[in-house]
């Protein structure tokens, strides 16, 4: 039952007017015991009786029952619960809203401000964790601390050091401490400059962050879809038929197709586009089923501090429903087994599971159950203009979250060969090698003369796993000419001779070639 | 018979303190500061153990490890990785690449000396 402060307000007003319960009950034509129940919120009233009581008390009905009261009580309660404020009685919340709705609103506004601030702090820490300058500085600090600690321990531990060693080691401790001071000052400056308010994140970016924070694996959704699938008792590609059947039999939703754009929106009809590829149609039906059957779980999962507003939560809910659809159509164990068996051949996996390239690639990325992980993949999608979506990074291989990636990456080359898989052995400046696999995907069959809705999708993994992937075979000979020297983004790349450079590098000159850390301590000493 | 340890680390002071500590334990020490030369130096020095800084200039420690493990002669070489990244995910990657033990900077001398001793001990034990 939703708690409303009507009873409380009636009681307050009655006392204010110096009326007894029996007097008011008599005037309103109800029994004293009934009025008592009303005043203690044990009976919900409305309509004629509410109007009568308001008239007897000489107030507007809206004074007793405001449309905002219900949500206000609810939100205040939620706020208390989200902050784990125990010992707050629900009755007191009702009393607060009854007597001082403005105070309740002020509390909620404060709480929202607090949430915004917490969010700001989170995004700052996120930004800092990706800052190359900060990365170099923290490396310098760790190095200096390591030297200081080690020599200090040596000085304390060994009694038999000769005078020369003693002097030298103390000298090192002193000089490294000086450097440490400079590094720390440089870091404070850097952090100071980073405190400028960042732009608020869009709901899309919030959802990206949310997924990244969960490492793109949602165990609860995996087990929920596993149970659902067991209950439906089907396997393989037949699951699509079973899903359609379940939508109609259990939820009264008819799946229908439309070729045009005019669709009567209806709760009982699920419209699908005839021009969508078969795999998309199956996926959408699965997603719809998950949205219905796992509604509570989805609602719970999006209660996450990274999703700060309703738009982000609803977008996150849709992303999770897609995850669930993938888990339902391509069950974890079977899919992992098939992936290893087919050596991660995306085309063969797509054929086996009736999935699209993007669906298969995406499911591969989620195979990260701690006890049974597949090859760890990064994921990225871009449209022809370079607008990035769904970035997912793995250690060593960060995917850009804003702007573009390195123009030499296979994800862009794939646009010149639509529909064909482009593989690439990408070598970073530090000599790390990653295997990239990219292909364009069309979202909807275009008629003659129509432009397709096209994206390029890429997954990438450490070349360490190359021999487990069919795509690694052509690089197995180790021929250097097959490698592509790349960066991550122009801003963070020091290949100054690159012909595709679009922006100047933020990293200083050729310093890395000589001594990577010199400019850091040097700059810090200034 | 003394054991030989190769230290691949570009910070001269860290090399110096490690060399000091480990020679007092009776080991012979060689060092290399450039990532690209680690493999050559391994072939030249034939050490019993490699201490490898994961964040070396010019070539990443990950890539060096990969190249080392590709050589059958170094497949069983004990490797102690020095790292500034304590993250679980990086560790998994290093384990996959064949790191035997990690040491996160800043480490204590005692920790380092006993890890080296333990690694050398287990390398000496007869292979199953």
Is the pLDDT reported for residue A515 higher than 60? no
- Name the band, by pLDDT with cuts 50, 70 and 90, for residue A199: low
Per-residue pLDDT averaged across A456-465, rounded? Answer: 93
Q: What are phi and psi of A73, to 5 degrees?
A: -60, -45
Cβ distance A100 to A10 under 8 Å? Answer: no
Is the pLDDT reported for residue A516 higher than 60? no
Lowest-pLDDT range of A118-127, A261-270, A356-365, A448-457 = A118-127
Instruction: Select the residue of B21, B59, B106 nearest A149 (Cβ to Cβ).
Output: B106
- Name the band, by pLDDT with cuts 50, 70 and 90, for residue A200: low
Shortest alpha-carbon distance between residue A151 and chain B (Å): 6
pLDDT at A366: 94
Cβ distance A319 to A214 under 8 Å? Answer: no
Q: Choose from A2-6, A368-372, B44-48, B100-104 the range with maximum mean pLDDT.
A: B44-48
Other CB atoms within a 10 A radius of the CB of residue A430 amount to: 19
Instruction: State what percent of residues in chain B have pLDDT above 70.
Output: 91
CATH architecture of A347-488: 2-Layer Sandwich (3.30)
pLDDT at A198: 55
Topology agreement, domain A6-113 and domain A347-488: no
Shortest alpha-carbon distance between residue A395 and chain B (Å): 6
Biggest alpha carbon–alpha carbon distance for chain B: 39
Shortest alpha-carbon distance between residue A212 and chain B (Å): 13
* Contacting residues for A396 by C-beta, under 8 A, at least 6 apart: A432, A434, A462, B62, B90, B93
Per-residue pLDDT averaged across A399-412, rounded? Answer: 83
- Name the band, by pLDDT with cuts 50, 70 and 90, for residue A404: confident
Is the pLDDT reported for residue A268 higher than 90? no
pLDDT at B7: 95
- Taking the domains of chain A in order of start, what are their residue ranges? 6-113, 132-189, 199-329, 347-488
- Whether residue B57 and residue A512 make contact (CB cut-off 8 A), yes or no, is yes
- Name the band, by pLDDT with cuts 50, 70 and 90, for residue A521: very low
- Tell me how many residue pairs between chain A and chain B have CB atoms under 8 A apart: 87
Cβ distance A360 to A346 under 8 Å? Answer: yes
Is the pLDDT reported for residue A511 higher than 60? no
Is the pLDDT reported for residue B65 higher than 60? yes
- Name the band, by pLDDT with cuts 50, 70 and 90, for residue A142: confident
Cβ distance A279 to A354 under 8 Å? Answer: yes
pLDDT at B19: 95
Q: Which helix (H) or strand (E) holds A242?
A: helix A239-251
Q: What are phi and psi of A205, to 5 degrees?
A: -70, -35
Shortest alpha-carbon distance between residue A148 and chain B (Å): 9
What b/e sequence results for A34-68 when a residue is b if at least 16 CB atoms lie within 10 Å of its CB, and e otherwise?
Answer: ebbebbebeeebeeeebebbbebbebebeebbbee
Per-residue pLDDT averaged across A113-141, rounded? Answer: 74
Per-residue pLDDT averaged across A300-304, rounded? Answer: 87
Q: Tell me how far apart the alpha carbons of residues A3 and B10 are, in angstroms, rounded to a whole number.
A: 67
- Name the band, by pLDDT with cuts 50, 70 and 90, for residue B85: low
Residue numbers in A near B92 (CB within 8 A): 395
Q: Tell me how far apart the alpha carbons of residues A194 and A187 are, in angstroms, rounded to a whole number.
A: 10
Interval A1-53: pLDDT, tens: 456 678 888 998 899 999 999 999 999 889 999 999 888 877 777 778 888 88
Pairwise pLDDT comparison (A78 vs A517), residue with the higher score: A78
Pairwise pLDDT comparison (A297 vs A520), residue with the higher score: A297
Interval A306-334: pLDDT, tens: 788 899 999 999 999 999 999 999 999 99
- Whether residue A139 and residue B57 make contact (CB cut-off 8 A), yes or no, is no
Per-residue pLDDT averaged across A442-450, rounded? Answer: 80
Residue numbers in B near A517 (CB within 8 A): 10-11
pLDDT at A238: 76
Question: Among candidates A239, A211, A207, which has minimal Cα distance to A225?
Answer: A239
Domains and CATH numbers, chain B: 47-108 (3.40.50.2300)
Is the pLDDT reported for residue A129 higher than 70? no
Instruction: Select the residue of A138, A145, A464 nearest B96 (Cβ to Cβ).
Output: A464
- Name the band, by pLDDT with cuts 50, 70 and 90, for residue A67: low
Residue numbers in A near B90 (CB within 8 A): 395-396
Q: What is the mean pLDDT of chain A?
A: 83
- Name the band, by pLDDT with cuts 50, 70 and 90, for residue A130: low
Question: Among candidates B84, B97, B70, B110, which has minimal Cα distance to B10?
Answer: B84
HSE at residue A409, side-chain half, CA atoms within 13 A, is 31
DSSP state of A394: B
Cβ distance B82 to B64 under 8 Å? Answer: no
Q: Tell me how far apart the alpha carbons of residues B128 and B124 are, in angstroms, rounded to a whole number.
A: 12
pLDDT at A517: 33
Among residues 64-123 of chain B, which lie with CB inside 8 Å of chain A? 66, 84, 87, 89-90, 92-93, 96-97, 105-110
Interval A143-197: pLDDT, tens: 899 999 999 999 998 888 899 999 999 999 998 998 898 888 888 877 776 665 5
pLDDT at A526: 27
- Whether residue B21 and residue A150 make contact (CB cut-off 8 A), yes or no, is yes
Helix (H, G, I), strand (E, B), or coil: what is residue B115?
helix
Q: Tell me how far apart the alpha carbons of residues A45 and A464 are, in angstroms, rounded to a whole number.
A: 70
Residue numbers in A near B105 (CB within 8 A): 142-143, 145-146
Is the pLDDT reported for residue A59 higher than 70? yes
| B25 touches A: beta carbon within 8 Å | no
- Whether residue B63 and residue A433 make contact (CB cut-off 8 A), yes or no, is yes
DSSP state of B76: T
- Whether residue B13 and residue A172 make contact (CB cut-off 8 A), yes or no, is yes
Statement: A6-113 belongs to CATH 3.40.50.2300? no
Is the pLDDT reported for residue B91 higher than 80? no
Per-residue pLDDT averaged across A394-409, rounded? Answer: 79
Q: Tell me how far apart the alpha carbons of residues A151 and A253 are, in angstroms, rounded to a whole number.
A: 73
pLDDT at A326: 94
pLDDT at A317: 95
pLDDT at A391: 84
pLDDT at A120: 72
- Name the band, by pLDDT with cuts 50, 70 and 90, for residue A382: very high
A interface test, pick of B15, B36, B51, B63 with most A CB neighbours within 10 Å: B63
Cβ distance A41 to A7 under 8 Å? Answer: yes
Q: Is the peptide bond between A84 and the residue preceding it cis, with omega within 30 degrees of 0?
A: no
């Amino acid at each position: 039952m939703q708690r409303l402060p009507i009873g409380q307000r009636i009681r307050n007003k009655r006392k204010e007017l110096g009326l007894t319960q029996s007097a008011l009950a008599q005037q309103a034509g109800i029994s004293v015991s009934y009025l008592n129940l009303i005043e203690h919120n044990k009976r919900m009233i409305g309509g004629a009786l509410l109007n009568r009581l308001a008239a007897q008390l000489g107030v507007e009905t809206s004074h007793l029952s405001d449309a905002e009261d219900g949500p206000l009580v609810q939100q205040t309660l939620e706020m208390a619960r989200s902050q784990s404020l125990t010992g707050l009685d629900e009755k007191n919340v009702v009393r607060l809203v009854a007597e001082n709705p403005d105070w309740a609103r002020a509390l909620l506004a404060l709480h929202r401000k607090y949430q915004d601030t917490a969010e700001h702090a989170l995004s700052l820490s996120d930004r800092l964790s990706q800052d190359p300058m900060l990365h170099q500085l923290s490396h310098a600090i760790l190095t200096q601390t390591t030297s200081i600690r080690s020599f200090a321990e040596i000085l304390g531990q060994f009694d038999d050091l000769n005078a020369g060693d003693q002097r030298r080691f103390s000298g090192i401790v002193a000089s490294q401490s000086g450097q440490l001071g400079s590094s720390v000052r440089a870091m404070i400056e850097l952090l100071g400059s980073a405190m400028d308010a960042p732009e608020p994140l869009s709901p899309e970016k919030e959802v990206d962050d949310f997924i990244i924070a969960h490492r793109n694996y949602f165990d609860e959704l995996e087990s929920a879809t596993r149970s659902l699938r067991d209950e439906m008792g089907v396997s393989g590609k037949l699951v699509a038929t079973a899903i359609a059947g379940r939508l109609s039999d259990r939820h009264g939703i008819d799946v229908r197709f439309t070729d045009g754009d005019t669709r009567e929106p209806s709760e009982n009809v699920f419209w699908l586009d005839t021009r969508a590829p078969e795999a998309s149609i199956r996926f959408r039906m699965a997603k719809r089923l998950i949205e219905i059957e796992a509604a509570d779980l989805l609602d719970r999962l999006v209660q996450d501090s990274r999703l700060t507003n309703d738009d982000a939560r609803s977008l996150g809910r849709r992303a999770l429903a897609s995850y669930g659809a993938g888990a339902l159509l391509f069950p974890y164990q079977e899919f992992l087994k098939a992936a290893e068996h087919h050596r991660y051949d995306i085309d063969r996996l797509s054929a086996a599971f009736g999935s699209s390239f993007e669906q298969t690639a995406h499911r591969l990325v989620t195979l990260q159950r701690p006890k049974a992980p597949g090859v760890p993949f990064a994921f990225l999608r871009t449209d022809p203009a370079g607008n990035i979506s769904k970035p997912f990074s793995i250690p060593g291989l960060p995917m850009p979250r804003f702007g573009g990636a390195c123009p030499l990456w296979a994800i862009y080359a794939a646009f010149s060969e639509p529909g064909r898989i482009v593989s690439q052995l990408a070598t970073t400046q530090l000599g790390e090698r990653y295997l990239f696999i990219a292909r364009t995907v069309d979202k909807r069959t275009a008629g003659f003369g129509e432009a397709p809705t096209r994206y390029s999708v890429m997954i990438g993994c450490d070349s360490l796993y190359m021999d487990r992937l069919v795509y690694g075979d052509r690089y197995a000979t180790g021929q250097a000419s097959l490698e592509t020297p790349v960066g991550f983004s122009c801003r963070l790349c020091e290949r100054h001779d690159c012909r595709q450079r679009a922006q100047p590098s933020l990293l200083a000159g050729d310093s890395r070639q000589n001594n990577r850390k010199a400019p850091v301590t040097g700059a810090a000493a200034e | 018979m003394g054991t030989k340890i190769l230290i691949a680390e570009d910070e001269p002071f860290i090399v110096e303190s490690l060399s000091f500590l480990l020679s007092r334990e009776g080991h012979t020490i060689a060092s290399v500061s450039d990532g690209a030369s680690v493999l050559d130096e391994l072939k030249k020095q034939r050490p019993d153990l490699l201490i490898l800084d994961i964040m070396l200039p010019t070539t990443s420690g990950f890539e060096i490890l990969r190249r080392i493990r590709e050589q059958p002669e170094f497949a069983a070489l004990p490797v102690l990785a020095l790292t500034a990244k304590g993250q679980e995910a990086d560790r998994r990657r290093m384990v996959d690449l064949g790191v035997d033990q990690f040491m996160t900077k800043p480490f204590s001398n005692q920790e380092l000396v006993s890890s080296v001793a333990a690694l050398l001990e287990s390398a000496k034990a007869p292979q199953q």
